[in-house]
């Protein structure tokens, strides 16, 4: 089983840790200094950790390095930690934030057909303006997981 298939299977099995449980545990690890200004710390941390992800990809794309997916995953874990802290700082829990974004995700993808008329094509855009059309892989059609595909988005 490939790594991608393992991830898909884990998602299909259902939740492991809830977003709010993750946030609660993450906040328990925050230092006293971090909690003096959690919004500033969270925002700067989000910028720094996403920058590290960008740097990993830059080195892969433009300098010939292998893409270190394990390192990328670790950095994304750090992004999650700072997201939990930032949400706390503004008085929100992660689950509520994810729910706020949910309707936008659902409405951004509306089934359509491409020139081939084949199913599994979605047009992504805001305010009815298409941004991209990508083929959806059948194995992921029932999931709310998206990933980049060239200049568009697909499941």
The partner residues of 153 in beta bridges, in order of sequence, read 148
Say which CATH superfamily domain 3-92 falls into.
Answer: MazG-like (1.10.287.1080)
The pLDDT tens digits for 96-149 are 999 998 877 777 655 554 444 444 444 444 444 444 444 434 434 434 433 433
Sequence-distant (≥ 6) Cβ neighbours of residue 11 within 8 angstroms: 143, 145
The full set of domain ranges for the chain reads: 3-92, 103-154
Residue 146 pLDDT: 39
Task: Of 71, 98, 63, give the one whose Cα is nearest residue 83.
Answer: 98
Listed in sequence order, the residues at least 6 apart from 155 whose beta carbon sits closer than 8 Å to its beta carbon are 122, 136, 137, 140, 141, 143, 145, 146, 147
CA distance 27 to 20: 10
Mean local confidence (pLDDT), 78-90: 98
pLDDT score at 109: 59
How far is residue 141's CA from residue 121's CA, in Å, rounded to a whole number?
A: 10
**Angle of helix 94-108 relative to helix 19-28, nearest 10 degrees?**
140
Output the pLDDT for position 118. Answer: 43
Q: Where are the beta strands (DSSP E) in the chain?
A: 109-112, 121-126, 129-135, 147-149, 152-154
**Given this model, what pLDDT does residue 37 score?**
98
The model carries a pTM of: 0.65
Mention every residue, 6+ apart, whose C-beta is less than 8 A from residue 43.
82, 86
Over residues 40-52, mean pLDDT: 98
pLDDT of 51-76, one tens digit each?
Answer: 999 999 999 999 999 999 999 999 99
| Tokens linked to 24 | 């609660």
């Amino acid at each position: 089983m490939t790594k991608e298939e393992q991830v898909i299977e884990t998602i299909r099995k259902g939740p492991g840790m809830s977003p709010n449980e993750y946030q609660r545990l993450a906040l328990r690890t925050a230092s006293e200094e971090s909690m003096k200004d959690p919004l500033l710390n969270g925002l700067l941390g989000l910028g720094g950790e996403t920058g590290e992800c960008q740097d990993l990809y830059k080195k892969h794309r433009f300098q010939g390095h292998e893409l270190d997916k394990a390192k990328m995953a670790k950095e994304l874990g750090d992004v999650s930690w700072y997201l939990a802290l930032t949400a706390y700082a503004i008085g929100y829990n992660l689950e509520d934030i994810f729910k706020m974004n949910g309707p936008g995700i659902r409405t951004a993808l509306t089934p359509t057909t491409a020139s081939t008329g084949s199913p599994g094509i979605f047009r992504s855009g805001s305010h009815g303006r298409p941004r991209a059309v990508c083929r959806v892989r059948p194995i992921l059609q029932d999931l709310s997981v998206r990933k980049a595909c060239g200049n568009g988005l697909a499941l």
